[in-house]
Amino acid sequence: MTHRFSNILISTFIIILFFFSCKQKIELNEVSEFAYEVEKVLSHDGIIWSIEFIEENKIIFTDKSGQIFTYDGKNKKEIIGAPDIYLNRQGGLMDIELHPNFNSNKIIYLTYAKKIDESGGNTAVARGEFDGNKIVNLTDIFVSNQSSEKGTHWGSRIEFNKEGHLFFAIGDRGSRDINPQDLYRDAGKVFRINDDGSIPSDNPYVDKIGINPAIYSYGHRNPQGIFLHPETNEIWTNEHGPRGGDEINIIHSENNYGWPIISYGINYDSTIFTSITKKEGMEDPLYYWVPSIAPSCFEYLESDKYGKWNGSLLVGSLNYGYVERLTLDMFGQINYREKLAPGIGRVRDIKVSPNGYIHIAVEKDGIYRFTPI
C-alpha cells in the first residue's frame, strides 16, 4: 500500500511538473495591490539610454545622441570623453556599466554604435576610467568584425557575472536571414569576454577557426535587457521579437536560441516567416509576449522597500509605455504579470539604487523614482 501510494504521489508530481513547465498565457493585471507613487527625479529632453548609480544618490547616464551626464540630486553635469558615435536610427551611445570594483578602480564600460568602414558600422564596447569630471583612457575592447549601413538591432546591454566575465549582445542588425544562425558572423549573438577584453579560455568557440572566440550563444534577434540572477549566477536576457514573440531567455554556453527559425512572432506586415515555435537543438524561451511589448531593459529586484515585490523581474515597455513586473513560481516559470506606471512613456532603462529604490529612464522626459506610500 505504501509503495503504491508513493507511486501515485510521484505520478501526480510529474503531471503537475509537466503542466506548470508548459508555457502558459499569463494575463496582465492592470492595477497593483501595492501602493506606490512615481515621482520625477530629473527632466531631460533627450533619449536617456542607460543609467547607473556611482554613489547612493548620484547617477551617471548616457544620452543616445552621444553625451554622458551625471546628476547628484541638484546639478546635471556633462562628462567629457564620450566616444565618437555612428548615430544611425536605433544606434548611438547606448549602455553604461560599472566595473564590479568601480569604487576602487573607477573603471566604466560603454557600448556604442561605431563607424567601422565605408560599409557602415556595428556595436563596440569601450573601457575607460571616470575621474569625476571626464572619462580618460577610453579604449575599445571589442569591435564587431562586420559592418552594416542598417540602423536597427544593435543590442547591447552589459552585465558582469560573479566570476568577472562581461556579457553583452549584438542584435541581428536587420539581417534576419543572414546573421543570427551563422557562427562566422557576429550579429545575433551574446558574447562573453574578460574585463580587459581578453577571451575566457573556456568560451565555447575559442579554438574554432574563423569564429569570433567571444561568442557565447547565438540565434538572437535583438536582446536589450540583461541581468545577473543573484541566486543562480545565470545571465538572463529579454529581447525584441518582430510583431509578437518578444522573449525572456536564460543564457547558456553554445546554446542556439532559434531566431529566426523558431519564433512566436510574425512579420510587421502580418505575413508569416516561420510556422514553427519549437525545434530540436534550439532553446525555447522561458516566456514570450504576444503582442509585443518591446522590452527595452531588464532588472531583478533585490529590495526591502516594496514588500512582496522583492525577487520580481522588472521590464520596461517601449510599445505601451509602462513597467511590467513579473514573478516566478516554484518551477521557475512566469506566473504573474502586472502593469506599473501605466502611460508614463517609453521606458528605456530600469535600475535599483544602492538604497533600494526603483528608478526608470523615460525617453525624451527624464528619470523617475518609485516610492512606496
Asked whether residue 17 is assigned to any structural domain, the reply reads: no
**What CATH number corresponds to the domain at position 238?**
2.120.10.30
Q: Which residues of 264-298 are buried (b: 16+ CB within 10 A; e: fewer)?
A: bbbeeeeeeebeebeeeebbbbbbbbeebbbbbbb
pTM above 0.85, yes or no: yes
158, pLDDT greater than 70: yes
Range scoring the smallest mean pLDDT among 6-10, 26-30, 63-67, 185-189: 6-10
Q: What is the mean pLDDT of residues 119-134?
A: 97
Is 341:66 a contact under the CB 8 Å cutoff?
Answer: no
Per-residue model confidence (pLDDT) at position 3: 52
Per-residue model confidence (pLDDT) at position 113: 98
Per-residue model confidence (pLDDT) at position 217: 98
Structural domain tally of the chain? 1
Any idea what the Cα angle at residue 336 is, between residues 330 and 337, rounded to 5°? 145
91, pLDDT greater than 60: yes
For 52-77, write each residue's pLDDT tens digit: 999 999 999 999 999 999 999 999 99
Asked whether residue 331 is assigned to any structural domain, the reply reads: yes
Q: Which three cell numbers stand for residue 371?
A: 516610492
Asked whether residue 287 is assigned to any structural domain, the reply reads: yes
Asked whether residue 226 is assigned to any structural domain, the reply reads: yes
Per-residue model confidence (pLDDT) at position 13: 41
Per-residue model confidence (pLDDT) at position 253: 98
- What separation in angstroms does the CA of 181 have from each of 133, 214, 227, 261? 43, 16, 24, 9
Asked whether residue 20 is assigned to any structural domain, the reply reads: no
Band the pLDDT of 25: cuts 50, 70, 90: confident
Q: Kindly report whether the peptide bond that precedes residue 242 is cis, defined as omega within 30 degrees of 0.
A: no
Helices marked H in the chain — which ranges? 2-21, 102-105
d(CA 127, CA 160): 14
Per-residue model confidence (pLDDT) at position 23: 59
Three-class secondary structure of residue 175 per DSSP: coil
Asked whether residue 4 is assigned to any structural domain, the reply reads: no
Identify the domain containing residue 292 by its residue range: 28-372
Which residue has cell 529590495? 303
Asked whether residue 10 is assigned to any structural domain, the reply reads: no
Asked whether residue 1 is assigned to any structural domain, the reply reads: no
